[in-house]
Amino acid sequence: MAEGRPEPVERLVEELAKLPGVGRRTAERLADHLVRAPKGEAMGLALAIRDVKKSVGPCSACGNFSETDPCAICADGRRDRARICVVSSVKDLLAIERAGVWRGLYHVLDGRVAPLEGVGPDDLRLGALAERVKAGGVAEVVLATDSDAEGDMTAMHAARVLKDAGVRITRLSRGLPSGSSVEFASPATLGEAMEGRKDV
Amino acid sequence: MAEGRPEPVERLVEELAKLPGVGRRTAERLADHLVRAPKGEAMGLALAIRDVKKSVGPCSACGNFSETDPCAICADGRRDRARICVVSSVKDLLAIERAGVWRGLYHVLDGRVAPLEGVGPDDLRLGALAERVKAGGVAEVVLATDSDAEGDMTAMHAARVLKDAGVRITRLSRGLPSGSSVEFASPATLGEAMEGRKDV
């Protein structure tokens, strides 16, 4: 039913529909909102996008989003430079930073292996990871990918790329999440918690 | 407002209010329902309770609920009798059985240490656990308690009771639950997943 939309609005719909999780319908709704919105509001969004693109980019070392290059984490002399935590996305990096559980550096892969979506290992920043590690000074690489099929595949490919680098390769542990009950754990989680059981 | 209730109904309310999670209000609602319900329905419940009490009891070995003693699990010759999985409740036992991740026996503690609720280690079946293990033939005891403060305390007390028994004592692993994402894991879970990270 979009045949009546002026061409610039149609183009806006198409651009909005490229956003993750935004379908054609949502894009049309957002576009119509922007058409009707006060000019200040719509331009506020446009300028914010432009400013982000102008001033924020990926850190050339780790891939974190930053206004500086290298990013504040990579530039921080108190961080343990011998340890690299490999994450799929900047969101995951931020979750780990918020948790305050990592004092090493990061490497953002910019994705995870997802064959059904046509994402293969070559689409990730695995080559850059291998180069970083081969440059030396790295003792351990933690593969902090999701605990699902795609996370498993991504970790597998990362481990393969690092196989001959002579560094310790680890992965986040699986099991009961903190503060949870045995009764309501999924069968798969119970299986991993049993399999990975630890000496007391 | 229960002053108008006949004494037998009042007694039923009090009995119902002893059920876990049933407050005075809910108990009154249930009691009123039973008063109004056809005799067959109300008696069906009464008889079901009586039958359960007559025919089902705790297994004298593991504490599982069973119509037989020992229970079907303890009597199953294909189970690994050298390994005992310690759980807080029959519900936890059933969750692990449903998951199909354990081929040993169980020991139900009938509770967890909860100082705020006045539940101490002496209220649990820890003595029976120690006796079972000391009787011999046990190689490993897995402490499958919840991953919260009470589960931790319960596991600690169980480990203490078994300290000199010369058996391997393990605990369910902590970390990312199966099929979950790093981005949405709690800080505590990320901390445990990082701390417990495993070599690939």
Q: Do B191 and A197 touch (CB under 8 A)?
A: no
Contacts of the segment B23-31: beta carbons below 8 A, 24+ positions apart: B28/B2, B31/B5
Angle at which helix A149-161 crosses helix A126-134, to 10 degrees, equals: 40
For residues A132-157, give the mean pLDDT: 97
Structure tokens at A165: 């680098």
Q: Among residues A49, A48, A40, which one has the least CA distance to residue A18?
A: A49
Can you give the pLDDT at residue B3? 54
pLDDT at B2: 43
Task: Identify whether the C-beta of residue A58 lies closer than 8 Å to the C-beta of residue A65.
Answer: yes
B198 and A147 within 8 Å at the Cβ level: the answer is no
- Residue A3: its pLDDT value, please? 53
- When pLDDT is averaged across residues A31-53 and rounded to a whole number, the result is 88
Please give the share of chain A, as a percent, with pLDDT higher than 90. 76
Residue of A nearest to B168 (CA): A199
pLDDT recorded at residue A1: 45
DSSP characters over B107-153: EE-SS--BGGGTB-GGGSTHHHHHHHHHTS---EEEE---SSHHHHH
pLDDT at res. B20: 84
Show the beta-strand stretches assigned E in A91-191: 104-108, 140-143, 168-171
Q: What is the complex's ipTM, to 2 decimals?
A: 0.78
Q: Which positions ≥6 away from B56 have C-beta within 8 Å?
A: B65, B66, B67
**CA A114, CA A109: separation in Å to the nearest integer?**
13
- Taken in order of first residue, the domains within chain B and their CATH numbers are 2-55 (1.10.8.420), 65-171 (3.40.1360.10)
- Helix (DSSP H) and strand (DSSP E) numbers for chain A: 8, 7
Tell me which chain A residue has its CA closest to the CA of residue B156.
Answer: A200
Is A94's pLDDT higher than 70? Answer: yes
The Cα–Cα gap between A99 and B130 comes to 39
Taking 90 as the threshold, does the pLDDT of residue A183 lie above it?
yes
A2 pLDDT exceeds 70?
A: no
In this prediction, residues A6-10 reach a mean pLDDT of 86
* Contact assessment for residue A71 and residue A59, using Cβ atoms and an 8 Å cutoff: yes
All residue ranges of chain B with pLDDT < 70 are 1-3
For position A118, what pLDDT does the model report? 93
Split at pLDDT 50, 70, 90, the class of A88 is: very high
Closest residue in A to B160 (Cα) is: A200
Contact B179, A186 (CB under 8 A): yes
Write the DSSP assignment of A162-199 as a string of letters. Answer: TGGG--EEEE--BSBPTT--STTS-HHHHHHHHHT-EE
Distance from CA of A2 to the nearest CA of B (A): 37
- The predicted pLDDT at position B37 comes to 87
Q: Decide if B159 touches A, using CB distance below 8 A.
A: yes
Measured between CB atoms, does B46 come within 8 Å of chain A?
Answer: no
- Nearest 5°: phi and psi at B141? -120, 120
- Token readout for A10 is 């149609």
Cβ-count burial A107-132 (b if 16+ within 10 Å, e if not): bbbbbbbeeeeebebeebbbebbbeb
Rg value, chain A, Cα: 21
Secondary structure of B15-30 as H, E, C letters: HHCCCCCCCHHHHHHH
Chain B interface, best mutation among A85, A133, A190, A198, by max B CB count within 10 A: A190
Mean pLDDT across A155-181: 96
**Rounded Cα distance, B63 and B50, in Å:** 20
Q: In terms of Cα–Cα distance, which of B174, B188, B193 is closest to A172?
A: B193
Instruction: List, in sequence order, every residue forming a beta bridge with B114; answer none if it has no partner.
Output: B119
User: What percent of chain B is helix, strand and coil (3-state, nearest 5)?
Assistant: 50, 15, 35
Q: Average pLDDT in the A163-192 region?
A: 96
**A154 and B CB contact within 8 Å:** no
Distance from C-alpha of B163 to C-alpha of A42, rounded to nearest angstrom: 68
Compute the average pLDDT of residues A108-112: 96
Contact A125, A108 (CB under 8 A): yes
- Lowest-pLDDT range of A88-92, A146-150, B48-52, B182-186: B48-52
